[in-house]
């Protein structure tokens, strides 16, 4: 009698690079004969892909490991693995604090996971393997993608910057670039599978090419993406202002499938603090980039990352940050209260700011960011936009009888599921699927999303929608507009943790 295959679950924390790595971990495990655990079941193998940037990341990991200890004790043969940035940093500390962990692996050897699990099971002892340099480029590993229609494509790993608040370069290593031909071959293969949107991913994407000596390699890559038939949307994250050059702006403006959205991390508006952060640019340079992007791409939506309460931040420094927010008019911002990260230079700086002051400044910043984002969104009311229908991004869609999608500028739009007469003809009685394209008119704005409550004006069924159908195990979608879409969706457009840019 054939034994049932072992099941797995990957729990991901942190930025898009971790999401990208988790897709590879899933692919590796399935390639080794594991199957994804059904929702609600306890998996035979639970993998934590950790982050070392988010506040209290270690406490959250050990808390989760603690919850699993009795579960593992009651489930013979269960294994727990810990990888990612925190594993690279803490190494054998993890098994010392949580001896029921079976495998610890680092950011440079995710391809070793299946073998380490086998070895731990055979030897009945924990396996810790942390490499100091990249073993295999993650994008060459098998992949289990969450989305049928959108994909991450890693163009580089590691970072050559030395920002004093960031530990990622120490954990991911120096920048290593993939060759353009390898990247384009992967994108072409993805398009062949039905993917119509890719996000180029790197710790500092616009430094791409430094390893092989081409300073315009990233802009050339964007233009090359424009030549790929069937690729409708190209995005990238995250660039660094110090190395963001005009050839990239030109490539964005002149390549039709490169979307008018840009995530440009600010971190602080104070030139004095930027120097302390080792950010290699100043306020004037940052605002100059924003001005040139808006001149070349008037409809661009620009988002950012901002840290409040960096050591030594004065009220005047904070007011400089508010000034940049007003001038740049971001469509959104990921805002963070500074907290010490062990192993970073900033953790040892004097003049750490009191929590009360940080909290006050943070509240004022969030209020201003939301006010400006709302004002910017209000300017779009009445505008007609083409959306890529998204999966799992509208948590209230079932209750509101709406669907959700992303505009070209990456704004999230919740839209009515009612078809106009013309759209009904185009849909031909079929469901609107994730990956399909619809045209709607914006009727209402909120700080973090838009609403289109009129009828859907047109529907364009796509190969991406066909790919989504195939994932559901059917060749064609059922008649009518589906509202109960599954919760696993397109890669999040922005990180939940500070970008390394």
Same domain, 101 and 198: no
Same domain, 363 and 411: no
Residue 147 · residue 489 · CB < 8 Å: yes
The mean-pLDDT minimum among 146-160, 336-350, 352-366 falls in: 336-350
Q: Is residue 500 part of a domain?
A: no
Q: Is residue 484 part of a domain?
A: no
Kindly report the pTM of this predicted structure.
0.84
Please report which confidence band the pLDDT of residue 135 belongs to, taking 50, 70 and 90 as the band edges.
low
The mean-pLDDT minimum among 35-39, 100-104, 119-123, 422-426 falls in: 422-426
Please report which confidence band the pLDDT of residue 302 belongs to, taking 50, 70 and 90 as the band edges.
very high
The mean-pLDDT minimum among 245-254, 366-375, 466-475 falls in: 466-475
Same domain, 436 and 349: no
Q: Is residue 94 part of a domain?
A: yes
The mean-pLDDT minimum among 13-27, 178-192, 237-251 falls in: 13-27
Same domain, 420 and 327: no
Residues 6 or more apart from 181 whose CB is under 8 A from it?
Answer: none
CA neighbor of 62 nearest in space, from 77, 79, 50: 50
Please report which confidence band the pLDDT of residue 54 belongs to, taking 50, 70 and 90 as the band edges.
low
Task: Could you list the beta-strand ranges (E) of 173-314.
Answer: 176-177, 197-201, 233-237, 261-263, 301-308
Query: CATH code at 424?
Result: 2.40.50
pLDDT at residue 19, rounded to an integer: 86
225 among annotated binding-site residues: no
| Residue 234 in this model has a pLDDT that exceeds 90 | yes
What is the extent of the structural domain holding 29?
7-129
The total number of structural domains that make up the chain:
4
Core vs surface per residue 305-334: b (16+ CB within 10 A) or e: bbbbbbbbbeeebbebbbebbeebebbbbb
Q: Is residue 236 part of a domain?
A: yes
pLDDT at residue 479, rounded to an integer: 36
Query: CATH code at 329?
Result: 3.30.750.200
CA separation for the pair 208, 26 (Å, rounded): 27
Same domain, 37 and 123: yes
Rounded to 10 degrees, what is the CA torsion of 93, 96, 97, 99?
130
Q: What is the pLDDT of residues 71-88, one digit of tens each?
A: 999 999 999 999 988 888
What is the rounded average pLDDT of the residues 215-242? 96
| Residue 15 in this model has a pLDDT that exceeds 90 | no
85 among annotated binding-site residues: yes
Same domain, 88 and 185: no
Same domain, 108 and 199: no
| Residue 195 in this model has a pLDDT that exceeds 70 | yes
Question: How many beta carbons lie within 10 A of that of residue 372, not counting itself?
Answer: 19
What is the rounded average pLDDT of the residues 49-55? 77
Q: Is residue 222 part of a domain?
A: yes
Using the 3D structure, point to which of 236, 259, 282 is the last residue of a domain.
Answer: 259
Dihedral sign, Cα of residue 379, residue 383, residue 385, residue 390: positive
What is the rounded average pLDDT of the residues 110-120? 93
Q: Is residue 479 part of a domain?
A: no
What is the rounded average pLDDT of the residues 170-194? 91
Q: What is the pLDDT of residues 319-356, one digit of tens each?
A: 999 999 999 999 999 999 998 877 788 988 889 999 99
CA separation for the pair 497, 57 (Å, rounded): 11
Question: How many beta carbons lie within 10 A of that of residue 220, not counting itself?
Answer: 16
Q: What is the pLDDT of residues 438-495, one digit of tens each?
A: 999 999 999 999 999 999 999 999 999 999 999 887 654 443 343 333 333 344 444 3
Q: What is the pLDDT of residues 252-294, one digit of tens each?
A: 999 999 999 999 999 999 999 999 999 999 999 999 999 999 9
Q: Is residue 270 part of a domain?
A: no
H helices of 238-379, in order, are 246-254, 271-276, 283-296, 315-328, 355-378
Query: Is 53 buried (19+), middle (13-18) or exposed (0-12) by CB count in 10 A?
Result: buried
Q: What is the pLDDT of residues 374-403, one digit of tens each?
A: 999 999 999 999 999 999 888 888 888 899
Q: Is residue 314 part of a domain?
A: yes
Same domain, 31 and 120: yes
Give the residue, 406 or 175, on which the prediction is more confident. Answer: 406
pLDDT, the chain, mean: 89
500 among annotated binding-site residues: no
What is the rounded average pLDDT of the residues 413-417? 96
């Amino acid at each position: 009698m054939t034994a049932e295959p072992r099941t797995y679950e990957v729990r991901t924390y942190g930025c898009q690079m971790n999401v990208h790595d988790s897709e590879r971990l899933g692919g590796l495990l399935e390639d080794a004969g594991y199957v994804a655990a059904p929702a609600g079941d306890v998996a035979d193998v639970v993998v934590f892909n950790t982050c070392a940037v988010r506040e209290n990341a270690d406490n959250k990991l050990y808390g989760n490991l603690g919850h699993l200890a009795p579960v593992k004790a009651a489930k013979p043969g269960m294994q727990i693995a810990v990888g990612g940035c925190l594993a690279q940093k803490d190494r054998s500390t993890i098994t010392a604090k949580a001896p029921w962990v079976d495998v610890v692996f680092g950011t440079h050897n995710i391809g070793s996971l299946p073998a380490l699990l086998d070895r731990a099971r055979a030897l009945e002892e924990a396996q810790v393997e942390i490499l100091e340099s990249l073993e295999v480029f993650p994008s060459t590993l098998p992949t289990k993608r969450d989305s049928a229609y959108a994909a991450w494509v890693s163009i580089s790993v590691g970072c050559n910057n030395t920002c004093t608040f960031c530990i990622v370069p120490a954990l991911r290593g120096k920048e290593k670039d993939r060759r353009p031909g390898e990247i384009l071959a992967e994108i072409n293969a993805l398009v062949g599978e039905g993917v119509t949107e890719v996000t180029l991913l790197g710790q500092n994407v616009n430094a791409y090419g430094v390893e092989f000596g081409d300073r315009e390699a990233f802009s050339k890559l964007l233009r090359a993406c424009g030549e790929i038939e069937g690729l409708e949307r190209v995005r990238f994250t995250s660039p660094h202002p110090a190395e963001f050059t005009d050839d990239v702006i030109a490539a964005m403006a002149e390549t039709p499938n490169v979307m008018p959205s840009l995530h440009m991390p600010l971190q602080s508006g104070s030139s004095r603090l930027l120097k302390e952060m080792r950010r290699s640019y100043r306020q004037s340079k940052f605002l100059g980039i924003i001005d040139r992007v808006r001149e070349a791409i008037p409809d661009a939506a620009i988002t950012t990352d901002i840290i409040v309460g960096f050591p030594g931040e004065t009220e005047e420094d904070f007011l400089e940050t508010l000034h940049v927010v007003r001038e740049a008019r971001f469509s959104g911002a990921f805002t963070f209260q500074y907290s010490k990260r062990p192993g970073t230079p900033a953790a040892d700086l004097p003049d750490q700011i009191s929590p009360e002051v940080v909290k006050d400044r943070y509240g004022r910043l969030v209020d201003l960011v939301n006010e400006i984002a709302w004002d910017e969104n209000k300017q779009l009311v009445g505008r007609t936009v083409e959306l890529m229908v998204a999966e799992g991004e509208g948590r209230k869609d079932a209750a509101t009888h709406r669907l959700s999608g992303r505009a070209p500028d990456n704004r999230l739009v919740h839209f009515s599921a009612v078809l106009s007469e013309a759209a009904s003809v185009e849909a031909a009685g079929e469901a609107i699927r994730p990956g399909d394209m619809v045209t709607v008119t914006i009727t209402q704005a909120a700080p973090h999303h838009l609403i289109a409550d009129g009828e859907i004006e047109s529907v364009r069924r796509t190969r991406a929608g066909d790919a989504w159908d195939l994932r559901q195990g059917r060749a064609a979608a059922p008649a009518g507009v589906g509202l109960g879409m599954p919760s696993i969706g397109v890669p999040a457009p922005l990180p939940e943790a500070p970008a390394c840019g």
